Each structure stands twice: as structure tokens, then as C-alpha cells.
Amino acid sequence: MNVDPSNKTGIWQKAFLDRDEDGIADFWIEHEMRMKAIIRKYISDPVQKRFSEDDVAQTAFRTFARRMAADQFDFSKHDDISNLLFAIAVNKTREKIRYHMRHKRGVDREVYLSRLVDLAESKPLPEEKEGLEEVVRLLGDLPVDQQRIIELRLAGLSQEEIAVELQCSERTVRRKLAELKSMLGN
């Protein structure tokens, strides 16, 4: 490839070929905002919940930089280098949109919890209330140390962390959890 260091395109080509971080950073700074604006035009509101123009811009730039460093492009005009970057960005955007709009993961299939239930006004159903009362009764009948193990386990602690908290061996915690499982399973 012919690199003409007398114009910006040649300077940028040389920066990518030489892996000159300052030159590549200058290129990014000069093109980032315009590239993101172009990408933003393609991304609809529902798809924006899945990814942003920043994601696509970084992916497109990474591809562009890798291929520039491998000397895979030849430019005849000054604008060609910018147009190529923007074309890569548009293609990456379209690929991501196609991926997220496929039937099995389409944004039209999303159902948000706020649509299903009004959390501020929700009250337990009678069956839920009975179930919760049964759980509270069962837990109240347990010894204090087993209640504490359940509490710590529900808080996300590992068996080792529970053993440290209760100042007992990990084996004791495992044994008590096994007892709880067999008791609650019956």
C-alpha cells in the first residue's frame, strides 16, 4: 500500500500500520462523535434497551483498527478512510439489530414486570398467604441455630461463611442443612 504522509489519511494509515497509539487516538477523537451519531440513527428505542451506540462504535473501531494494522485497505481519496469506518459501524449496527430482533429474542417478546403487576398495590393472594403462614409456622418450630442457618443461607452466605459466623465447623453446617432438607422434604 502507498502511504502518503502529506495528508491526514496517509498519517492515519501510518499510525495504524505502526500501531502508534497517539495517532490512533487522534483518529478516534476526530471520528468518534460522528460515528456514534450515525449509529444512533439506526437504533430504535426498544433496541436501545439492549445495546447503545457506544457498544457498536467500540466494536466497529476495533475491527477497523485490526484490519488497518493488517494493511487490508487501500485509499485513493481523503474521505475514503472515514467513510470506511462509518460503513463498518453501520454494518455492525445492522448485525446487532438483526441479532436482537430475531423471533426468539425479539424486543417485541419482552414483558416487563411493571406491566404484569402493580407492585405498589399488590397484596398476596389467599393461596400465597396460606403458604407464607405455613413457612413461618414451620420455621418457628425449628431450633434457633437452624433458623439462623436458614437466615444466613437466604442472605447468600456460603456454607464456609455460615460456619465462621456461627463459630462451628463447616461439616456441622452441612449436616444441619441436610437435616433441614430431609425434614422439609417430608
pLDDT (tens digit per residue) in 62-108: 999 999 988 888 877 767 888 899 999 999 999 988 887 776 666 66
pLDDT digits (tens, 9 = 90+) for 9-28: 788 888 888 999 998 999 99
> In 19-166, which ranges are continuous DSSP H helix?
21-42, 45-48, 53-69, 78-101, 113-116, 126-141, 144-154, 159-166
CB-side neighbour CA atoms (13 Å) of 55:
13
Average pLDDT over residues 141-148: 83
Fold topology of 8-109: Rna Polymerase Sigma Factor; Chain: A (1.10.1740)
Q: Is the pLDDT of residue 112 over 70?
A: no
Class of domain 126-185: mainly alpha
pLDDT, the chain, mean: 81
Report pLDDT for 120: 54
Domain boundaries, the chain: 8-109, 126-185
Q: Is the pLDDT of residue 166 over 80?
A: yes
Q: Is the pLDDT of residue 117 over 70?
A: no
